[in-house]
Amino acid sequence: MAGAAAAGHLGGPVLLTEPGALPAVVSAELARLKPQRIVILGGTGAVSEAVKKQAETYIRR
């Protein structure tokens, strides 16, 4: 997993998603974490723009 080292360095988790849908368990974890930022690894073939936008709704502003 390419992002594991970066996540460890930044002190954040690695959450896995499907290309076209954000799993309910990931949504629940994002809601619990209330992250200040989300780093998405991979292109739109790995994480669609719709999933990216959905995940970004959990960013604490």
Position 21 in a domain: yes
Residue 51 belongs to domain spanning:
4-56
Position 43 in a domain: yes
According to the model, what pLDDT value does residue 10 have? 87
Position 61 in a domain: no
According to the model, what pLDDT value does residue 52 have? 97
Q: Can you give the pLDDT of all 61 residues of the chain as single tens digits? A: 678 988 888 889 999 999 999 999 999 999 999 999 999 999 999 999 999 999 999 999 8
Position 40 in a domain: yes
Number of domains in the chain: 1
Torsional sign, CA 18, 5, 10, 39: negative
* H helix or E strand, kind and range, residue 61: none
What is the CB neighbour count within 10 angstroms for residue 17?
A: 20
According to the model, what pLDDT value does residue 3 have? 85
Position 34 in a domain: yes
Position 35 in a domain: yes
